[in-house]
Amino acid sequence: MVKIAIIYSSNNGHTARLAKAVLEGVNRVEGAEGKLITSEEALERTVLDDLSSNYSAIIFGTPTLMGSPSAKFKEFMEMTSGVFFKKLWKNKIAVNTLTDLAVFAAQHGMVWVPVTVTPTWNLSTQKEENSLNGCGFFLGVGAQANVDQDGNAAPAEWDLKTAIVYGERMSEFAKIYEPAYKALKAQDI
C-alpha cells in the first residue's frame, strides 16, 4: 500500500476543502492510501517521524498570503530542519503550486510531480462544469478562492474536480515510483 500524506494549512476553509478533494482522488486509486494532516499536527515530532518512515509522497497545501505560504505553514517548514539534516525525505515525491514549496522540497531532496492537466478554461465557449485546471497551474493544484466566500463555497467545483484528478495522478505515480524509492533509500542514494 502506497501511503501519501497531505499536509495543509487553511485559514478560511478554502485550502482544507481543496485538500479533501485531493484526498478523494488519492483514495480512488487501488493500492494507495491518503491521510490529511494539518500543518499544526505536523509540528509534533511523532508525526514528522511517521512521515519520514511510512510515507513515500507528501502533498503540501497552503493559502498564498502576501505571495508566500501562510505563517502556520512556514512554522511547519521550519520544524523540518531536523528532517532536512538527516535527509529523511530524500527521494520522496513532493507536490504543491507555490515555487517557495518547490524550493523547500528540493532542499529536502524530494522528487517533484507536476500537474499534467492542460488548462481548459481559456475559451469563451468553454462550459464551467467541464473545466479543469481553470487557473492554469502547472507546479501543482491551485484554485481561486474569492475573499467574500467562506470555505463551504470556495474554491469552485471545477477546481475541486482538478484536485481529485490530481490526487489520482499522485497515487498512480507513487505506486509506480515506490519500488524505486525503497531501492534508493536502501542504498542511501
Whether 84 maps to a domain, the answer reads yes
Quote the number of domains for the chain.
1
Sheet holding 2-8, edge to edge: 32-38, 2-8, 57-61, 93-95, 111-112
- Kindly report the pTM of this predicted structure: 0.83
Across the strands, what pairs with 68?
65
- The whole domain housing 15 covers 2-113+140-187
Query: In the numeric block, which cell numbers belong to residue 167?
Result: 490526487
The domain that holds 15 is classified in CATH as 3.40.50.360
Q: What is the pLDDT of residues 102-146, one digit of tens each?
A: 889 889 999 988 888 777 766 666 666 667 877 777 788 877 776
Under the banding of pLDDT at 50, 70 and 90, the label for residue 47 is: very high
Contact, 69 vs 77, CB < 8 A? yes
Alpha helices in 67-112 (DSSP H): 71-79, 81-86, 99-107
Q: Output DSSP code: residue 155.
A: S
